[in-house]
Structure 1
Amino acid sequence: MNIQSKLPTTPDEFLRWNEGREGKREFVRGRVVEMMINVTRNHWRLASRLERRLADQLDDRLYDIGTSDFGVRTPDGVRFPDVMVVPFESDGKALVTSSPLFIAEVLSPSSMADDFGPKAQDYLRIASLRYYLVVSQDEYRVWLWERGADRQWLKPTMIEDQAFELRFDDVVVHIHMDELFDGIASPAAKS
């Protein structure tokens, strides 16, 4: 006999239902969305390197920096970004945060339309978010959305230079493109 469990209909139901399950999924607009679990080596390298660059420059007593195993509650549901920075919170048992400061997604052919479209729109409605970064895994290129002084989102900037900066309170984080893309892509490979 095939027994089907009831699918969740709210973010809280999803978090309880999803805990301990194998695979990767998100909860978007009332639906469970299966996600890719096998990424390319370059995708993995970029997410890991970005996470390390952030962790090297931010105080872990003030910020938590991690990869896609920890979720973020969004206006549309629950998502699991490739890299995220959140203020340090003492609740070590939480499954998600509602207050990310930085979110990054590494592009995959299957995720490109979502990362620039519905996912970007969802993330940009999170009140605490300061930066949304999309990283190409095929080209020496990133796209950065950031909030202006008036808390409005500025037009995304395509970055193909040597470095860019992110500001977290009094700390300026420098991300060097050469370090991020070493062995993956080079400025000469820009198209």
Structure 2
Amino acid sequence: MAEASPSPLSHDAYFALEQQQDQRFEYMAGQVFAMTGGTERHAMISGNTLVALSTGLRHKPCRVYGPDMKLFIAEHDKFCYPDTMVLCEEGKRSKLYVENPLCIVEVLSEATESYDRGLKFEHYRAISSLKAYLLLNQDRAHAELFERDPGGTWHLSEASGEEGAVEIATLGISLSLADLYRQVDFDSD
């Protein structure tokens, strides 16, 4: 993320700003932050994840959203753009954003990794419906899955290598790392 806007904006002013600009912005409590673009690897992993989740959930009452859909986190007055989100029965949808996802996926980058693991995850944990947070490394085939148990405790499981798989119990699906990292070239920079 880049620097914040100079004065607080309302939600409507934020929506208008995004309609007028070619880039996307995150919003938090009246402050707007310009977002930076991703890499080819990031785009491939994000796209593969969207396809894998959509395929795995095709017979369930869930919707899978890619990086162009905003998420509103009411507890922090925040709008952001997760790489991938899954909404099921508890999810709320509107024309411009969604609320209450069951699962969020972020593809890590050097520029955003500490934010994705730290403050962003802290904000995501405020979403009571969120049960799974999946972090995908873009420099190697490696996944970290945080799942919330009924008592509210988060548990980490990991998978590595293209033979690995991520079991997302809350969604009742398994995602193979071979599918998530299909055609990703780790040798290119």
| Length-normalised TM-score, structure 2 | 0.81
Evaluate the alpha carbon distance shift between residue 96 and residue 69 of structure 1 in structure 2; reply closer, same or farther with a 3 A threshold: same
State whether residues 65 and 84 of structure 1, in contact with CA within 8 Å, keep that contact through their aligned partners in structure 2.
Answer: yes
**Identical-pair percentage:** 23
Distance 1:179 1:22 in 2: 31
Evaluate the alpha carbon distance shift between residue 29 and residue 6 of structure 1 in structure 2; reply closer, same or farther with a 3 A threshold: closer
State whether residues 100 and 130 of structure 2, in contact with CA within 8 Å, keep that contact through their aligned partners in structure 1.
Answer: yes
Query: Which of 164, 167, 173 is the aligned partner of 1:165?
Result: 167
Question: How much has 1:20 moved relative to structure 2?
Answer: 4.8
Distance 1:91 1:13 in 2: 22
Distance 1:185 1:29 in 2: 39
Distance 2:91 2:135 in 1: 29
Aligned equivalent of 2:43: 44
Evaluate the alpha carbon distance shift between residue 12 and residue 62 of structure 1 in structure 2; reply closer, same or farther with a 3 A threshold: farther
Residue aligned with 2:172, SS: strand
Q: Which amino acid aligns with 2:139?
A: D
Unaligned runs of 5+ in 1: none
Aligned equivalent of 1:66: 65
Distance 1:62 1:20 in 2: 34
**Count of aligned pairs between the two proteins:** 179
Question: How much has 1:159 moved relative to structure 2?
Answer: 2.5
Residue aligned with 2:155, SS: coil
Aligned equivalent of 1:15: 15
Evaluate the alpha carbon distance shift between residue 86 and residue 41 of structure 1 in structure 2; reply closer, same or farther with a 3 A threshold: same
Distance 2:148 2:90 in 1: 23
Aligned-residue CA RMSD in angstroms?
2.8
Question: How much has 1:13 moved relative to structure 2?
Answer: 4.0
Aligned equivalent of 1:119: 120
Q: Deviations over 1:87-120 (max 9, x none)?
A: 2799875211111111111111111111111111
Aligned equivalent of 1:177: 177
Evaluate the alpha carbon distance shift between residue 83 and residue 113 of structure 1 in structure 2; reply closer, same or farther with a 3 A threshold: same
Residue aligned with 1:19, SS: helix
Unaligned runs of 5+ in 2: none
Aligned equivalent of 1:57: 56
Q: How does 1:140-151 map to 2 (within 5 A)?
A: 140-150=141-151
State whether residues 148 and 155 of structure 2, in contact with CA within 8 Å, keep that contact through their aligned partners in structure 1.
Answer: no
Evaluate the alpha carbon distance shift between residue 36 and residue 45 of structure 1 in structure 2; reply closer, same or farther with a 3 A threshold: same
